[in-house]
């Protein structure tokens, strides 16, 4: 689809086959997703993210409703161009500059939701969401807080009472330890500590399966 002229070229459209549903509806309607589903979903998301990031594009609003699905369990990322605070927004999307690590955090939140059937950090606002994050991950170290550009955020986190992280094995008692190790990497508070999509795939070639204990 070519524009009439360069001057009128303002919109980009992504066209692909019809997808009957989205990942939000899949998670909501199915409480019997198998480890094979978990593996296939995560693999597709990481593969898609690698491709997107290779073009120096950051989605910035990844969440189950923005991931289309069909009857064959194939996923397609949609709604590029939207960027707003949602349950899956990374701390870096709120306080740091945008980097690919923003999307990696969202993948971690989505993966946790696939495994448990519910949002990981369902914050009502930015402060509430930060509280939920630190309730689980613990308060970030001073060196991470010092790199936050937003002065109010730095003050809020610096004044927060010290919270210890909750072991993921305690928060997710029915999830295999391999999945928990991956979640911990994806959900690192400091964006510099998160892996890239390709690093996750290369470091987990045989572990993107059987994450859910029977």
pLDDT, tens digit, for every residue of 92-140? 666 666 788 999 999 999 999 999 999 999 989 888 988 999 999 999 9
pLDDT in tens, 41-83: 999 999 999 999 988 888 989 999 999 999 999 999 998 865 3
CA distance 171 to 184: 12
Whether the per-residue pLDDT at 3 is higher than 90: the answer is no
Phi, psi values for residue 121, rounded to 5°: -130, 75
pLDDT for residue 12: 73
> How confident is residue 85, by pLDDT bands cut at 50, 70 and 90?
very low
* Known active-site residue 72: no
Candidate list 22, 31, 32, 61, residue with the active-site label: 61
CB atoms within 10 A of CB 195: 17
pLDDT average, residue stretch 7-36: 87
CATH of 20-202, one of 3.50.50.60, 3.40.50.360, 1.10.510.10, 1.10.357.10: 1.10.510.10
pLDDT for residue 90: 65
């Amino acid at each position: 689809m070519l524009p009439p002229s360069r001057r009128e070229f303002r919109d980009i459209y992504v066209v692909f086959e019809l997808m009957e549903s989205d990942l939000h509806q899949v998670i909501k309607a199915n409480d019997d997703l198998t480890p094979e589903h978990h593996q296939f979903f995560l693999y597709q998301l990481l593969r898609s993210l690698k491709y997107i990031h290779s073009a120096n594009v950051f989605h910035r609003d990844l969440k189950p409703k923005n991931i289309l699905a069909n009857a064959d369990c194939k996923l397609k990322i949609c709604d590029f161009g939207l960027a707003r605070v949602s349950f899956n927004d990374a701390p870096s999307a709120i306080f740091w500059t945008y980097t690919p690590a923003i999307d990696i955090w969202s993948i971690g939140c989505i993966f946790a939701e696939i495994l448990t059937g519910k949002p990981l950090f369902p914050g009502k606002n930015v402060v509430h969401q930060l509280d939920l994050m630190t309730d689980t991950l613990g308060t970030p170290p001073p060196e991470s807080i010092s790199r936050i550009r937003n002065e109010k955020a730095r003050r809020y986190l610096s004044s927060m009472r010290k919270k210890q992280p909750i072991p993921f094995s305690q928060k997710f008692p029915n999830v295999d330890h391999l999945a928990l190790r991956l979640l911990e990497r994806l959900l690192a508070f400091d964006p510099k500590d998160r892996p890239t999509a390709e690093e996750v795939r290369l470091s987990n070639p045989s572990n993107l399966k059987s994450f859910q204990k029977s």
